[in-house]
Structure 1
């Protein structure tokens, strides 16, 4: 590592930046730090870490060492960038930039094979959720809406992923005939599941604004699917889905509103189609991989100068 001029290091796992700090101390290697999640605040909000605990103190020591030496911090959203500027006094606006994530899958068209693969009929309205089901994700709002729409056979739900809430979420299949819960999907299986989705859901728990960003959001946009965001009302996701007309926003806990929203959207295929077009347009103009790669290239070039 002594021969490298710049080390690009990620926030997950939280101890990983220690390597870059050592490289900087020993060899004066510049550090570019990509913050996927803001620790320890994201752990506080999700109640997975107690302030003042040993692990908390270790995280703060790592942060102090890192931010004192970092040459550039990459935040995934402007919301995260502003949060870090407010809570990391070692940083200033010249040493932090925003570079969003992007989708890693291929966009494919829905097919009879895909519908059959997951047990749906063409024409059914499929509300999907993909990704983590853990301490950072609100699942109760979605589960409540599933229960409230279980008697409508045209509305179906597909929940795919893993996490600490997976067992709790899986119990919904015993009381609601309109939902399937599957394990984590990759490759063509994931691409097919996304392709048959009519609308897709992202969710975050309360208190996480500025500390994380749901990665599957970009897959939904790339696939041209409307997005329902179950988030805090002031979050960037709530604002973006409404301002860009790519979907709808629901406050955390409002399963009644979510159920009504799903019923309304199911009856408006033209609106769904337009939201999908808007979503794909937003992805191509703001989030596609080439845009992100060019920003990383420009950042590294500046650091090498």
Structure 2
């Protein structure tokens, strides 16, 4: 499928991701800034990420696309992007080698798409992509700063090389911390030769970054403790959400009528069925409630490596109060969140500091309470306690999950209050505008913009 058919595919975004859109702008007059080279001109930033606009099907691609849009339109930053021409969901979808997205220059490199299950082959292809980016940047590097993410994990090699050879600083944004997460999930052994090499490279890339950006305080703490980073060099920048794209809506809608009985209680889990999400405890809780509270229904929407396992358990154990659905069309996503009485966010044990589920911020934006099953030290659990926008139960606690659902089912006023708190937290702390402002301030530390005051609390 060629790029001319992109708009059709855009209807089927993952359920925890919505973007600002092709023509969305919040343009203000570009700001001229003084850089290290002297004179007035826009700050020049290069973003490196495997996926980018208009492919909004991957979390990092969606988040960085919207942040780049705001950096350009509100802060006058000149943004260039180097990305792949592939689609996050794979297949034959491809994008042109160059695109001017309302002033943002996007350059795409062609790499062979590989299924996510083919881990070793993906490692080779990802390394080749990083090398291609590095070679292109050797010939074209008029930047004040490079922003590189962990998608794919080998991509920081290009930014690290650019700093070593040309002295261009880079911001290293950690979305998925490997190989730490693979080891914690027992996908790989800490003694494996490739894991040890990956650990050495990760340490070098982290140490070489001018600034490291973690998407949660738990992740910042892990980086400081496990990699010996200076606390002042690691900043926290939450993923956030777009409060205009996802806003509170009435609960009674077509999605709720389809999946919940009249007067029932609907528990929704949307997003990838990833290894780090705990679905077994959710299914165990559903079994416990099957006869005890038949009006409680679970709706699990998405796909991923655990999807088949979940479907087999539901079928074989006849857990008929659980419905498993593929991703819904994007236009139904906000209604899906609105239909929920409570939304689930789960993490396996041992995931503290290794990932922060992005769907949590969409739930906040929708004004729905979150039921989090994870370690209390995780970022999501900390925000829930700070903002009183949900409940937290220990990881792998099926009984605790079932008990909390039963209690909340009988506390509609409590649910309403937590939902209102969730929306307020998103608007005050986690809107894309607020996140982009903090990102601009961090970038300004490296571009040396004297007019930008950087209080510690803001970083």
Asked whether the two chains share a fold, i.e. TM above 0.5, the reply is: yes
1:232 pairs with 2:371: no
Tell me which of 405, 426, 432 is aligned to 1:283.
Answer: 426
1:103 pairs with 2:235: no
Q: Distance in 2 between matches of 1:268 and 1:180?
A: 24
SS in structure 2 opposite 1:15? coil
Tell me which of 290, 313, 322 is aligned to 1:150.
Answer: 290
1:79 pairs with 2:222: no
Please identify, of 228-237 and 194-203, the stretch whose mean Cα deviation from structure 2 is larger. 228-237
Runs of 4+ in 1 over 4 A off after TM superposition: none
In structure 2, relative to structure 1, the CA distance for the partners of 1:237 and 1:70 (3 Å cut) is: same
Tell me which of 196, 201, 205 is aligned to 2:348.
Answer: 205
1:37 pairs with 2:176: yes
Mapped contact 1:35–1:76 kept (Cα < 8 A): yes
How much does 1:172 deviate? 4.3
Q: Distance in 2 between matches of 1:264 and 1:72?
A: 44
Residue correspondence of structure 1 range 106-145 to structure 2 within 5 A? 106-110=246-250, 111-116=252-257, 118-121=258-261, 123-145=263-285
Matched residue count: 303
Tell me which of 165, 168, 190 is aligned to 1:51.
Answer: 190
In structure 2, relative to structure 1, the CA distance for the partners of 1:188 and 1:264 (3 Å cut) is: same
Mapped contact 2:218–2:377 kept (Cα < 8 A): no
Please identify, of 158-167 and 235-244, the stretch whose mean Cα deviation from structure 2 is larger. 235-244
In structure 2, relative to structure 1, the CA distance for the partners of 1:62 and 1:209 (3 Å cut) is: same
Tell me which of 90, 94, 102 is aligned to 2:232.
Answer: 94
How much does 1:52 deviate? 2.8
How much does 1:63 deviate? 1.5
Tell me which of 165, 171, 175 is aligned to 2:312.
Answer: 171
Q: Distance in 2 between matches of 1:112 and 1:207?
A: 37
How much does 1:120 deviate? 3.2
How much does 1:223 deviate? 0.8
Aligned to 1:196: 339
Mapped contact 2:261–2:295 kept (Cα < 8 A): no
Please identify, of 279-288 and 291-300, the stretch whose mean Cα deviation from structure 2 is larger. 279-288
Alpha-carbon RMSD across the aligned residues, in angstroms, is: 1.9
Aligned to 2:302: 161
Higher relative contact order (CA 8 A, sep 6+): 1
Aligned to 2:10: none
Structure 1: runs of 5 or more not aligned: none
**1:145-180, CA deviations, whole angstroms, 9 ceiling, x for partnerless residues?**
111112334211110122221111113443122221
Q: Distance in 2 between matches of 1:287 and 1:112?
A: 27
In structure 2, relative to structure 1, the CA distance for the partners of 1:79 and 1:119 (3 Å cut) is: closer
Q: Distance in 1 between matches of 2:353 and 2:426?
A: 21
Q: Distance in 1 between matches of 2:366 and 2:190?
A: 40
How much does 1:18 deviate? 1.1
